[in-house]
Amino acid sequence: MFWKSLKVTYSTLEIVGLYGKRWDVELDLRHLKTTLGMDILRCKSPSMVRKEIYVFFLAYNLLRSLMWDAGTTYTTPPLRLSLQGTRHHLINFIPKLLATTSTKRLKAYRTLLKVIAHKAVPDRPARNEPRVRKRRPKAYPLMTKPRHELRKQLQTA
């Protein structure tokens, strides 16, 4: 019970600062889910859902490591680089990286880092975003029957 014996007090300003950092983390998680397309998981079994999440983590770590390499190589703060922009540039560079010889691959990789580093996001301190959905839901009902049954209904109608 060591932690119960410690009494730590924080100023209001420190608490407000921590709340701001927590808000940034929530925005980052939401952005991560929508950028990588993991807002809807497609697998059904628990083990496959875990594997799907692990693959998203691998993709996220790949993108963040590219952002880190680009930022440190070209003296741009890595947290100011765009995750979506890095993803977009990587997808565009993959065919070039695969098509080049091993001697030219390093040059192509450095070009990729340069492109990523020069697309820095502007600093937006104390950014405030409303908690609303931008897109309206479609006017279609939810699928409550198997697809083959719904197809039969369409054919008989």
Here the tokens at position 35 are: 């950028």
4-13 pLDDT, tens per residue? 666 788 899 9
Asked if residue 50 has pLDDT above 80, the reply is yes
Asked if residue 32 has pLDDT above 80, the reply is no
135-148 pLDDT, tens per residue? 777 888 888 999 99
Residue type, 100: T
Residue type, 136: R
Distances (CA, A) of 60 to 56, 63, 67, 87, 147: 6, 5, 11, 9, 33
How much is the pLDDT for 23?
82
The C-alpha atoms of residue 62 and residue 60 are separated, in whole angstroms, by: 5
% of the chain residues with pLDDT over 70 = 94
111-122 pLDDT, tens per residue? 999 999 997 888
82-106 pLDDT, tens per residue? 888 999 999 999 999 899 888 899 9
Strand partners, 120: 81
pTM greater than 0.95: no
pLDDT band per the 50, 70, 90 thresholds, residue 134:
confident
Here the tokens at position 4 are: 């119960």
More confident residue, 130 or 41: 41
Least confident of 3-7, 14-18, 75-79, 123-127: 3-7
How much is the pLDDT for 132?
78
Here the tokens at position 105 are: 């691959």
